[in-house]
Amino acid sequence: METHKLRILFIMDAVQGRNGVGSYYQDLAGQLGERVERVELVAPSLDSPHPCQGGSVLMPGDRTQRLFFPRIRTLTRLMEEMRPHVVVVPGPGIFSLCGYWLARRLGIPVCVTFQTDYTHLAQLYWGALLAKVNGGLLERLNLVMFRGASSVATISEAMVERACAAGVTRPHLVGTPIAEEFIRRPAAPPQGGVRSVLFVGRLAAEKHIDAFLELAACRPELSFTVVGDGPLRGLVQSSAGRLDNLQYAGWRSRSEVITFIDSHEVLMLPSSVEAFGTVALEAMARARWVITSPACGINHWPELAEGLLPLSEGETLDEGLRRLEQMAPARRTELAELGRNLALEVNNRTLASWEEILHQTALHPSWGSPVPPLTLRRFRRTGSRPSL
């Protein structure tokens, strides 16, 4: 079967463009659309609600986000009409579980992706008792989905190890794509030294935003900007009202994020939990200096590490920033140029890897036991699997 004839359906719970997972599949679907016959992305959107998007409730543990519910009939009709060769779901979530269930019922191969440390996040948001219950449930759902999937993909060596520990025999390691707009615009390294520092991401406990705010307080000669929204928004707003060198810009669109990255010399990602760190890759693509915490999965990609400034264990953000400032100007320019080149190379390899995974998945039977098909007339007439 030729890859360009594939029809791929992505189904996810993350709101498009609102966090790392939401951006990942939005960017991946956008670029794969030029390489395969058809790509559809089913995911909630705040600007243009998807036809499969139903009602919503406030997200448990984070009242700045909403948990959306899918329209099952509309999603079923989309699968009937599209007849995808592969359904890709990052789970577990309500959209992902529904997509997984429908695909299994219809005999469509499923690729499950593993990108989140649910146990650690549960501990941050729900406390010890609820974390044990909710984190355990999410891990159990993940395991069930792994067992019924035709393939499993993840984005870091650490997550590969976790997938193997959960019983996945051959998880695929894939990179992270970059949105076309980050690539197509010309980019040049910063001229001069460090004057401004940027944080982009959810304002949540796992992002360690408090360390960024502390850095702004101890470096009044530099300008700091926070872009994003989340449960710690009040903390950021309070700090911005107190510090003359700190600006809070709120949540911004992807095109606006590019402008913010280009207008700053340094991007910092101080997360305590970060499977990869998409914004770090985006900043590299814009030829910016990127400082990451040891927890960021992007540090463990040899193809990218040379273009980053990862902190050592125990090293503070201020110490990492001063290490950058002490570099020779020519070395800083070289680092920024190298980062952009590495990011573009990894983007191309990521797309090629996904093409290969999807090609293999389309021909691979499910690992788990078969699930009886739904009573869907069109699939009854034409067979449970789309022809390749």
pLDDT at 139: 73
Q: What is the pLDDT of residue 93?
A: 84
Do 199 and 142 belong to one domain? no
Q: In this model, does residue 385 exceed pLDDT 80?
A: no
Same domain, 333 and 211: yes
Mean pLDDT of 162-185: 87
**pLDDT tens-digit readout, 235-276:** 999 999 999 999 999 999 888 999 999 999 999 999 998 888
Question: What pLDDT score was predicted for residue 254?
Answer: 85
Structural domain of residue 201, as residue ranges? 180-345
158 within some domain? no
State the average pLDDT over residues 323-345: 96
Locus of tokens 């448990």: 60
Work out the burial of residue 253: count CB atoms within 10 Å of its CB; fewer than 13 is exposed, 13-18 middle, 19 or more buried. Answer: exposed
Strand partners, 224: 197, 246
69 has pLDDT over 80:
yes
Cβ burial of 379 (10 Å; 0-12, 13-18, 19+) is buried
Q: Are residues 205 and 337 in the same domain?
A: yes
133 vs 316, residue with greater confidence: 316
> DSSP for 31-83?
HHTTTSSEEEEE---SSS--TTEEEEEEETTEEEEEEEEE-HHHHHHHHHHH-
Domains contained in the chain, number: 2
Percentage of the chain lying above the pLDDT 70 cut: 87
Helix, strand, coil % in the chain, rounded to nearest 5: 45, 20, 35
Residues 193 and 88 in one domain: no
- Tell me the CATH number at 299: 3.40.50.2000
Is 340 found in the same domain as 269?
yes
Q: CA-CA distance, 76 to 19, in Å (whole number)?
A: 27
Are residues 193 and 46 located together in one domain of the fold? no
Residue 196 CB coordination number (10 Å): 16
pTM value > 0.85: no
Residue 319: is its pLDDT beyond 60? yes
- Residue 135 located in a structural domain: yes
pLDDT digits (tens, 9 = 90+) for 212-232: 999 999 999 999 999 999 999
Tell me if 100 is assigned to some domain: yes
Same domain, 139 and 26: yes
Tell me: do 79 and 130 sit in the same domain: yes
Whether 44 shows a pLDDT value over 60: the answer reads yes
Give Rg (Cα) of the chain: 21
pLDDT for the residue numbered 62: 66
105 and 221 in a single domain? The answer is no
C-beta separation of 131 from 122 below 8 A? yes
Q: What is the C-alpha separation between 135 and 129, in angstroms, rounded?
A: 10
Question: Which CATH number do you get for residue 117?
Answer: 3.40.50
Q: Based on the domain organization, do 210 and 124 belong to the same domain?
A: no
Are the C-beta atoms of 176 and 274 separated by less than 8 Å? no
Q: Are residues 210 and 330 in the same domain?
A: yes
pLDDT computed for residue 354 by the predictor = 95
Give the closest residue to 276 by CA, choosing from 141, 142, 114, 48: 114
Higher pLDDT, 24 or 237: 237
**For residue 304, what are its two tokens?**
């990218």
DSSP state of 314: T
Domain presence at residue 167 = no
Q: What are phi and psi of 76, to 5 degrees?
A: -65, -45
State mean pLDDT over 180-197.
Answer: 93
Q: What average pLDDT does this structure show over 355-361?
A: 94
| Burial class for 275, CB neighbours closer than 10 Å (0-12, 13-18, 19+) | buried
Whether 121 is in a domain gets the answer: yes
pLDDT confidence band for 65 (50 / 70 / 90): confident
Whether 108 maps to a domain, the answer reads yes
The verdict on 197 and 53 lying in the same domain is: no
Predicted local confidence at residue 22, as pLDDT: 84
Q: Does any domain span residue 358? A: no
Mean pLDDT, rounded, of the chain: 86
Greatest CA separation for the chain: 70
- Confirm whether 166 is domain-assigned: no
Residue 128 pLDDT level (bands cut at 50, 70, 90): low
Beta carbons within 8 Å of 39's beta carbon, 6+ residues apart: 7, 8, 9, 10, 29, 32, 33
Q: What is the DSSP letter of 173?
A: E
If you average pLDDT over residues 357-374, what whole number do you get?
A: 63
